[in-house]
Amino acid sequence: MKSMMQRMVVVWQKGLNNNMTCRSQSRALNTLKDNYSCQILKSPPLASLDLPDVWTHSSTHYDPPSTQNCTNEQTAAVIDGKSIAEEIRLRIASEVSRMKKSIGQVPGLAVILVGQRKDSQTYVRNKIKACEEAGIKSVMTELPDDCTEDEVLCALSSFNENPSVHGILVQLPLPQHFNEEKILNVVSLEKDVDGFHPLNMGNLAMRGREPLFIPCTPKGCIELLFRSGIEIMGKKAVVIGRSNIVGLPTSLLLQRHHATVSIVHAFTKNPEQITCEADIVVTAVGVPNLVRGSWLKPGAVVIDVGTYPVEDPSCEHGYRLIGDVCYEEAIRVVSAITPVPGGVGPMTIAMLLFNTLHSAKRAYDFT
Amino acid sequence: MKSMMQRMVVVWQKGLNNNMTCRSQSRALNTLKDNYSCQILKSPPLASLDLPDVWTHSSTHYDPPSTQNCTNEQTAAVIDGKSIAEEIRLRIASEVSRMKKSIGQVPGLAVILVGQRKDSQTYVRNKIKACEEAGIKSVMTELPDDCTEDEVLCALSSFNENPSVHGILVQLPLPQHFNEEKILNVVSLEKDVDGFHPLNMGNLAMRGREPLFIPCTPKGCIELLFRSGIEIMGKKAVVIGRSNIVGLPTSLLLQRHHATVSIVHAFTKNPEQITCEADIVVTAVGVPNLVRGSWLKPGAVVIDVGTYPVEDPSCEHGYRLIGDVCYEEAIRVVSAITPVPGGVGPMTIAMLLFNTLHSAKRAYDFT
């Protein structure tokens, strides 16, 4: 889960850093205004407007919840992502076994891991373990931190051409000297089980078109809603965060299911006011306790994609994970909520397996 | 402008047709629920959920505005799209002339027109006239209604390969027997001046990526805002309608400029309530007078993309165009509004010329 957060575009800085970033944002804007005032169009070029999302809301400074504004009673059902994911993985395993019996083939997932990041190694290990349990064949290429772009591209090409590989995953983040966009562009569209290719995203966004893959975490969020009997059509949904891998595709997906979607980001004034009108809130920014109880409408449903490690000597690894939502406050207000951990996290891996199976079925024309 | 409306996905039907469409929507949903209850995932496949947008709000039945709820005074500035577009076209002409003097080349636009639709012929004629005035070379291929797909694809391929063509436009709608998606997919990405290719849309949606072209009408809307001194960043924007050619790209574009965007569509409950919180409203559904004065926040800015012909014997052609917004009511509430006609319409052509110039500059590496 942490790797997912590291792949998010959101920048969360406090104090001096934060002020500096705000100043540089404003400087960048002024320079833009000066440079483009004599052009044909008044609108500045898009790329340069791609400012970092810096969250500065004071409510992110978390104090233990007061009981003044909420009852002491927990009203929320806890959406158990772990057991829902488990159930999905069992069904995937049974489909893989049916495929093997029927055509003698199984789905294959290839993972490319560059460098020695401990967290990346853990996530890759978890994915490979999940593949094994479902009967999906996995292969991994490990490359050292100082390898060249060509070495990564070469490994990618070989997986692109290998007919027994149906899904390819480049574990992110890559070491800093790599051009992530260039590398991800090389992943064959038919094997892009992460669904991050812009063509895929365009097809997800456009009516009448269909993406080859739906990105895993957004798909997991929607699945949690469906499995919890929560209707999406006609509901007001707010997505907090607009990252390419969670916020954006989740908003597009909710809209495809006919929710009325608003996207809240670091430049939103009064995010609280917009969020507290939503029937469904999906939050994916990685800012601990950003969403307080007062941000939520009584009876709303909350899907918390954020994860943030906080030190906790009482836990096995010396830390525990918390989400974007102030859980203790939220459970007294909303009707259903995902916990962190054990909510969206397990669903991401289940959806990765699902996409790999789906890709293999398509490759072998197996129904 | 009408062709643009015809290209929109929105279906607007009244009475029996409307009821039938609602019933078939509900039938489709029930079938989906039955078919997919035994699948691995609970979420139905996306393509099948692509229901038509049927607007059924009673407020669309327009009666002459009452003066009870609004003052008699016009408070809105009228955003004069015609003169803004004229200014942009003059600057484009001057750039084209500079290009010709400097490298002996001019931008080229190719138009493919299939069939004998009077309205399509008019729009194409207007585009070609605008090209001429700006010094942009235009070529047109006219094909009969009963031509084959291969003939259209052949014309397209020849324009794709022609280095003096920098923009290609397939005038929509195509006759019914054509697969529009298949044909549009063949337009070279570098010449897709309409910007409707899904790869282009994906790049528009994703942070850190840049589309080759921004679709003309959405770009025109943003330009009107910039030229009217209206700040977008941090503002609440509502886009009404989610068509691939206006609603979707406009919402993505507003978000890139850091507005907080909500997308209202036919499945939105209480669209009025969401719209009347917006600082900026862009409406593109083609439902006359859908947006009443009561839908608008005092001081909001309204960009009306909708056009709908209504009979009017006093007008030259026996009809006049009206927009999605009840103009007479809106001008008493908002701070600025585009008229219909003379608002967004002229901007669409100006942006088409801009995209063609931009494409030629890229092709010749001319700055």
Q: In chain A, what residues touch B209 (CB-CB under 8 Å)?
A: 181, 198
Least confident of A58-62, A118-122, A343-347, B313-317: A58-62
Q: Rounded mean pLDDT of A178-190?
A: 92
A227 CB near a chain B CB, below 8 Å?
yes
pLDDT at A177 over 70: yes
Of A200-209, B71-80, B95-104, give the lowest mean pLDDT range.
B71-80
A211-346 shares the fold of A106-194: yes
The beta-carbon neighbor of A49 closest among B9, B214, B256 is: B256
Chain A residues whose CB is inside 8 A of the B233 CB are 267
Per-chain mean pLDDT for chain A: 87
Superfamily of domain B106-194: Leucine Dehydrogenase, chain A, domain 1 (3.40.50.10860)
Phi, psi torsion values for B83, nearest 5 degrees: -80, -30
Chain B CB contacts of A279 under 8 Å are none
* CA distance to A88, A110, A351, A362, per residue, from A166 (Å): 19, 8, 14, 9
pLDDT at position A18: 44
What is residue A28's predicted lDDT score, i.e. its pLDDT? Answer: 55
pLDDT surpassing 90 at residue A42: no
Which of A35, A41, A180, A246 to substitute to test the interface with B, most B CBs within 10 Å?
A41
Q: B276-335, pLDDT tens digit by residue? A: 999 999 999 999 999 999 999 999 999 999 998 889 999 888 889 999 999 999 999 999
Nearest residue in A to B221, CA atom: A43
Mutation to test the A interface, candidates B206, B252, B268, most A Cβ within 10 Å: B206
Q: Is 50 exceeded by the pLDDT of residue B246?
A: yes
Q: What confidence tens digit (pLDDT) does each residue in B227-243 have? A: 999 999 999 999 999 99
User: Which of these, A56, A78, A54, A7, lies nearest to A247 by C-alpha position?
Assistant: A7
pLDDT at A258 over 60: yes
Q: For chain B, what percent of residues have pLDDT higher than 70?
A: 84
State mean pLDDT over B177-202: 93
List all residues 6 or more positions away from A154 whose beta carbon is below 8 Å from its beta carbon: none
State the pLDDT at residue A164.
98
Optimal mutation site among B48, B98, B258, B354, interface A, most CBs of chain A within 10 A? B258
Q: Report which residue type is found at B326.
A: C
Q: In Å, how far is A89's CA from the nearest CA of chain B?
A: 9
Question: Who's near B120: CB < 8 A, 6+ residues apart?
Answer: B3, B113, B171, B173
Question: Out of A208, A255, A354, whose CB is closest to B40?
Answer: A354
Check: CB of residue B186 under 8 Å from CB of residue B156. yes
Average pLDDT, rounded, for chain B: 87
pLDDT value for A26: 61
The whole-angstrom distance between B119's CA and the closest CA on chain A is 25
Residue B22 has pLDDT above 60, yes or no: no
What is the pLDDT at residue B5? 37
Catalytic residues of A: 127, 171, 194
pLDDT at B146: 94
pLDDT confidence of B74, banded at 50, 70, 90?
Answer: confident
Least confident window among A260-274, B10-24, B223-237: B10-24
Give the lowest-confidence range in A116-125, A224-233, B148-157: A116-125
Superfamily designation of domain B214-346 = NAD(P)-binding Rossmann-like Domain (3.40.50.720)
Which residue, A349, A90, A347, is CA-closest to A220?
A: A347
Instruction: Indicate the pLDDT class of residue A16, thresholds 50, 70 and 90.
Output: very low
Rounded Cα distance between B14 and B288, Å, is 13
Q: What is the pLDDT of residue A8?
A: 33
Q: Considering only residues B5 and B115, tell me which one the structure prediction assigns the higher pLDDT.
A: B115
pLDDT at B19 over 80: no
pLDDT of residue A275: 98
A198 Cα to chain B: minimum distance (Å): 4
pLDDT of residue B17 exceeding 60, the answer is no
Half-sphere exposure of A206 (CA within 13 A, CB side): 26
Residue A75: its pLDDT value, please? 83
Domain spans of chain B, in order of start: 6-27+38-57, 106-194, 214-346
Give Cα A120 distance to the centre of its chain.
15
Distance CA B289, CA B138 (A): 37
Q: Quick check: A342 and A83 in contact, CB under 8 A? A: no
Confidence of residue A10 (pLDDT cuts 50, 70, 90): very low
For A211-346, give the CATH class: alpha beta
